Chain A
Amino acid sequence: MSDYINQSNYIGRVIGGSINRGIDIRLDSNTNVEELAVGRFVVIDGITHKFFAQITDITLHASNQSLIDLPPDFSNQIVSSVVSKIGVFSVIEVVPYLTLDGALATSEGVKPAKTVPPHFARTYLASEEDYQTVFGGNDNDHFWLGSPLDLETNIHLNLDRFVERSNGIFGKSGTGKTFLTRLILAGIVQKQKAVNLVFDMQSEYGWAGYNETGSGSVKGLKQLFSSNVALFSMDEEHSKRRNVTPDYLVKVGYNQIEPEDIVMLRDTLNLSDVAADASYTLALHYGQDRWFKTFTSLDGSQLRELAQTIGVNDRALSTLRTRLMRLERFHFLTDQESDHAVDSILQHIDKGIHVVLEFGRYQHEFAAYILVANLITRRIHQRYSRRKEEAMVDESAEPKQLVITIEEAHRFLTPGISSQTIFGTIAREMRKYNVTLLIVDQRPSGIDDEIMSQLGTKLSCLLDNDNDVSAVMSGVSGSNKLRTVISKLDSKQQALIFGHAMPMPIAVKIRNYDEEAYRSLGLIERNGSDYELDRDAKDLFGSH
């Protein structure tokens, strides 16, 4: 197969390997090993197929051990040249992910690799054309995320497939998770693939956030997409201080807090199992509507009495009460509330308007975050399930595809607990009820395995903790090769992306989130007609 022979990209020939171990490619003596890097793509020209593979290791060899034991006289230029050209050579190990059947020239022919190229097959650095073939071009289904590490060509995320499953964005603090998340959320908005519900703990996605150095601000979803995005806030004061007018102020009633919410807060509130589980008993005892407020208002003796009555350890109950009372300082909690907030959210979602829920001053209160996210998500999920069932009869009842973004998942999706939570359920159900998760986290090792394994696409920035890397890699074939790639990522603006929405794993240099991005992102096609949102350049570029 040599319908394309690009001599300048030629790097060497296949000399061995296996499906499991990877393919070994001996570099041609004219190839500079320093120009190759782990994570880069190569194309192997087999007899009937082209193989797309990723470099996972690079080793140096000497054809003769004596060269190493007794090196030649390097001051002799000519001998040096000969030795470097013939005596020593480099071998790159690559993992073939995809094959392209020679008969089908386009991306239709791209399939997962099930075989290996023959000996001495020629190998080339992937060209732009190759990337195009594999990763597709810029169209309605694909969103431009960035470029490969070695070329200036565009890599696109298949948004359709992305929103089909729950996904995860991981990385150490400061490696650019937030930017990546912002980018993807913007993409989802732009391409209208789903509606976002973002639980924005640190107020980064709604209006404005900070750039990498923290010195300037970058645009949030609302700034980019204005009326397509609604800002909900848990803290009015905070929003006002930032000159942002939220579209809705969220209040949560005590009556809306369910035992399940308390269980989810177990670690955060430092409750024992007994204490946490007691909330179920309390709810039964007092009724769902009243149990929280009633319980927290009990005094000591009433508590002891209660303990006896319901048969729960009084000390546990006492601890529970104390902890629950802590929640009462959250100003967004009110005595009685209806589901109006949820209704409002759903209304927006139904109209296709994306919702970002900011937590204002509660950005450091994990308890607040977990409580609200859990609560709201549970209610939405309920409604969604019902709507979905209705839609079986009446198509118009079909709810819009919803992507729920949560952060700090390792705090409340810990092993053991997550199975009981709504998020665990959503992850397991996949797209059954049109709801998927987008998890953003820096300690993936803290997240329940089961949830991790349900994630369709993972985007991993640099992680340096082995356990975190293992967690991200769990269940992925050929994971030990990819581990090397993750550990070699730049500390900023690079991510390894693999899974459902990517034909093959790829290390990507994330595109810049700047004026140029704003310009391109701010362009939305609506019903075939161009609808430019950035009328005024000054407006858009904001502060820098």
Chain B
Amino acid sequence: MSLDLHKIALQIDNVASRIQQKEFDRLLNLESTLSLFNGASPSELEIKRANSNIGFLVPRILESMSSSYPCQDTPKDYTVLAADGSHIDVDRHLAMQCYLINIGTVLIKYGENPGASLTNDPQLHTNENGLKITDEHSSRHQDIEGPLLGILRTIEEMKAIIKLVEEADKSKPILALVDGTLILWGIIGQAYPGFVRKALLENGIIDTFNQLRDLSRTRKLALAAYVSLPRSTEIVNLLRIDPAVCPYEEANCEANCGSLSFGSRPCDSLTGILDRDIFSNILAEGERSDIFASTIDLHYGEHAVYFYYLNTGSEIARIEIPKWVANDQELLAMTHSLALDQSNLGHGYPVAISEAHEQAVLTMGDREEFRSLVERYLGNKNLPVYTSLKNQSKKLKWL
């Protein structure tokens, strides 16, 4: 049955009113948060952080926290590349167990000899080439589906980026852009067995980072991730432990406020404020914030994730970079100016990423086609094509 919009409309309306109310409260809060931010002492906060056992994520301050840095010269000749993927998960209702990953890649060269290459590469994964992660030391295996599939897809995207870097003109600066975050949030919190973690991290994403690092030794290559409309509150979290908010000398959240209900902890007054709210008042168009180091521990090593906020003119974006990029002035400046340039060219969002997304996207029609293709092929080879009743009922629109 198609969506009955009338029934939803009232619900949406109710929510909208509540949001509106919250917005008023938030704006009042933001003012005081800004003055807090401007008056904070980075060194003090860093010391407190290092000595505390904080229950939420707080980044490491490198030098300052409230400075803003204008964009330096944007190189005219550069290459940007990006990869994005989408997938069709394993469908229990489908006769053949498989999943499809479609990686879209984009390489755009600007300057003297402009050019572009946009491709997409669909890969079908079945029993033969990997519906499971297997443990090499035992017979254990992990089925690949759901969030795990998402992580694998991310790794495939990185691999695609590596290929693009190798094809690009090494005499010009190269920016490799990733959509979203460099941090594999999917692993954090999931109790994946060791062999899975190994496949995903060491042999997975970290391996790709290593390859890129190697490549950057022979060309000016920077890797960055672009997060649009970031919902992170890491900088706000910093203010939570500010002495003006948190009365404790050491912010040991569990010990200090463990028994308090949500909303009654001293730092709860900062709830509802996002990092981007702060920086939209600090950064002028084109400026970036200070670099912060994320304290997520995924054993990234020299690829430890650093980040900064950037005012693109259309929004405050969060740029994540590996440590080796953050420590290289030139590469750092590259990520700043080129991410900005990309955003301008893309009417508010980096054009390379949005094109990669377009290359990767699988529409409902694509998904249906894929399903019928599988069924047809199975039919051709005289294999029984059975599908659950649920699937049948979805396909046949009957009255």
Check whether chain A touches chain B (CB < 8 angstroms).
no
Q: Footprint of A on B, CB under 8 Å?
A: none
